[in-house]
């Protein structure tokens, strides 16, 4: 049975990545889209050959053909929309951050569990083939005991009037919420659970959220981790600078850029034997892998590739960081 998708929040991410993935992937079909603006909703439906468009959440959730919902609205509405979709019997794929708070995330997990539907987070970094290779190498012991993990996901993004990402009531936070959620999820995917966090979080005076955050982590394994996220730093090379590194007792690995949407980028394994280049020049769009994993999990009853419980753990870490610098 195919997944027939309804999109709530037909914005930039849905247009550039998710809707095209749903068009291309076997076993998936775009059934409906919802946007409050009727002109925008109709245009989006026309652009992607979607048979039905709506201007209210109620109308889309009442669509009997739709059996899965992709939520790409600002985080402030994630908890409510997920609960309503679950009550309507729809499976939910939600954009990151899963919610503005750990409490909201718990509400979402409980609602989907109570209604017997699946919930997955669009943490696409887990589906990057370079990152999967790193996880494979680490699991095989090729790096030895992991000592340190470092990740930077940043951009130079000056504040613009009307940005919902700069409104804490809508976003839940700044780059730590917007980009740090990806960083924490990827590091947990590669290195396991995190036991403790220290943080430096700085906010400029003219906005309600931080624009610079650095976390110092200790993993349950004993490894250390550093996460840095900025909206205020200019990098000489954004491709090389947005990277993840794992250092172990037998070798280390580096991969960049984090913002690749088709797994393309550099991947270098360093061991006492020398450096090995495993870079990729491109491939299957990552968002296709995300929705394919979701479909397989629904059909098989197995685990989803990016569980909401892991996203909840990341939100608890972010809340701890904010509390230390409230």
3-state helix/strand/coil string of 207-234: CCCCCEEEEEEEECCCCEEEEEEECECC
Q: What is the pLDDT of residue 160?
A: 82
* Residue 191 pLDDT > 60: yes
Helix axes 308-324, 102-115, angle to 10 degrees: 160
Q: What is the pLDDT of residue 163?
A: 87
Q: What is the pLDDT of residue 64?
A: 97
- Residue 164 neighbours by CB distance under 10 Å: 12
* Residue 326 pLDDT > 80: no
Share of the chain above pLDDT 70, in %: 98
CATH classification (class only), 3-121+287-306 = alpha beta
**Domain residue ranges in the chain:** 3-121+287-306, 125-283
Q: What is the pLDDT of residue 282?
A: 84
Q: What is the pLDDT of residue 32?
A: 98
Q: State which CATH number among 1.20.1440.230, 3.30.360.10, 3.30.470.10, 3.40.50.360 fits the domain covering 125-283.
A: 3.30.360.10
At 55-114, the pLDDT tens digits run 999 999 999 999 999 999 999 999 999 999 999 999 999 999 999 999 999 999 999 999
Sheet of 52-54: strands edge to edge?
52-54, 28-34, 3-8, 68-71, 91-94, 119-121
Q: What is the pLDDT of residue 324?
A: 77
Q: What is the pLDDT of residue 205?
A: 58
């Amino acid at each position: 049975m195919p997944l027939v998708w309804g999109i709530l929040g037909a914005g930039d991410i849905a247009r550039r990545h998710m809707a095209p993935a749903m068009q291309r992937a076997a076993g998936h079909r775009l059934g409906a889209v919802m946007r409050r603006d009727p002109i925008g909703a109709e245009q989006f439906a026309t652009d992607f050959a979607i048979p039905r468009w709506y201007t209210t959440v109620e109308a889309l959730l009442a669509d009997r053909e739709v059996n899965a919902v992709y939520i790409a609205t600002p985080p402030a509405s994630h908890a409510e929309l997920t609960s309503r979709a679950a009550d309507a019997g729809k499976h939910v794929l939600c954009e990151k951050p899963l919610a503005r708070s750990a409490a909201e995330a718990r509400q979402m997990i409980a609602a989907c569990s109570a209604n017997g539907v699946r919930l997955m987070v669009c943490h696409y970094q887990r589906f990057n083939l370079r990152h999967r290779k790193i996880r494979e190498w680490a699991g095989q012991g090729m790096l030895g005991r992991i000592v340190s993990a470092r990740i930077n996901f940043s951009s130079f993004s000056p504040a613009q009037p009307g940005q919902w990402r700069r409104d804490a009531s809508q976003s839940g936070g700044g780059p730590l919420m917007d980009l740090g959620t990806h960083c924490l999820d990827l590091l947990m995917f590669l290195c396991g659970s995190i036991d403790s966090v220290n943080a430096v979080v700085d906010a400029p005076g003219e906005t309600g959220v931080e624009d610079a955050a650095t976390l110092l982590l200790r993993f349950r394994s004993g490894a250390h981790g550093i996460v840095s996220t900025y909206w205020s730093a200019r990098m000489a090379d954004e491709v090389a600078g947005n990277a993840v590194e794992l250092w172990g007792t037998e070798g280390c690995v580096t991969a960049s850029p984090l913002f690749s949407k088709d797994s393309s980028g550099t991947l270098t394994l360093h061991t006492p034997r020398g450096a090995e280049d495993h870079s990729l020049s491109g491939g299957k769009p990552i968002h296709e892998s995300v929705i394919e994993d979701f479909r397989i999990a629904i059909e098989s009853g197995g685990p989803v590739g990016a569980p909401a419980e892991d996203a909840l753990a990341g939100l608890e870490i972010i809340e701890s960081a904010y509390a230390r610098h409230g």
